[in-house]
Amino acid sequence: MCKAICAVLFPAVLFLAFCPFLIAQQALNNDSVVKMVKAGLTDDVIVATINASSGAYDTSPDGLIALKQAGVGDKVIAAIVAKGPGSAPDSAAPSTPDASAPTLPLPPGVENVGAYYKDSGGNWQPLPSEVVIFQSGGMVKHVASAGLMKEDLNGLVGGMRSRLVVSTPITLILHVPQGRTANDYELVRLHIVGNNRQFQSVAGGLIHESSSSLRDEIDFSSKQIGPSAYQIILSNELGEGEFGFLAPQDTASPKTPASSGQIFTFAIVN
């Protein structure tokens, strides 16, 4: 009898032991994520699964919109964008981190790549990660280029407000991917247009001309506090409004109409 029971139970135990391995080897896609959402898994569990598994995702605007309509949260969509095509660090000429940077451990709470702020209790909390979609906005005239017309792009972020509201001065940390620095990120002011937030840029980068009323990029300084971490302090001079740190994109997937990216957003109310 014991041998018979063992003969039945052993294959089942063996299958359960290898089941996580088999799941991990299965490449995820948009449909897989939707199934996990509909099964009731939390965003944290789904994000962890996306980060730990290979995947082939549709990160086009239509693909992201379909995910949103299927009930997938912004946190999960941002993780998909980060794992999507062209999400690897730029292999052409990324900024070089300072090899002599301090090697102090990161503060508690600053664990994964992303943007963090210090709350009123002195604890580090993540900035909301949202998806930005670049759309063609026609042509824009540059004062500094003697009237030269260039393609204009609008960075569009869904919703009128960030989920995070803070007051200045505010201390932040950018925990960047390997091979990147804080200089690869862009701090932008977001304008509320309809039910969305947007900023204006050109295909080759954000508009930098200080004489242009379309300037949406904001200069900031940072201090490297670790091999992949940079501290930023934003002062009261920034004023109120909606802002975001735009994550760098790979040159293999530049900013073009119908491309997407990741932005860490916050609202300032003093």
Q: Which residue has the higher pLDDT, 182 or 149?
A: 182
pLDDT value for 114: 94
Rounded to an integer, what distance in angstroms lies between the CA atom of residue 110 and that of residue 225? 12
pLDDT value for 185: 94
Strand order in the sheet with 114-118: 124-126, 114-118, 170-175, 229-234, 223-226
Give pLDDT tens digits for 74-93.
Answer: 888 888 887 766 444 444 44
99-108, 141-150, 198-207, 213-222 — most confident range: 213-222
Cβ–Cβ < 8 Å for 49, 36 = yes
pLDDT value for 123: 95
pLDDT value for 98: 56
Reported as a pLDDT band with limits 50, 70 and 90, residue 97 is low
Distance between terminal CA atoms of the chain? 75
Cβ–Cβ < 8 Å for 167, 269 = yes
- 26 pLDDT higher than 90: no
- 206 pLDDT higher than 50: no
- 254 pLDDT higher than 80: no
Give pLDDT tens digits for 175-189.
Answer: 999 889 999 999 999
The region of weakest confidence among 16-25, 60-69, 122-131, 232-241 is 16-25
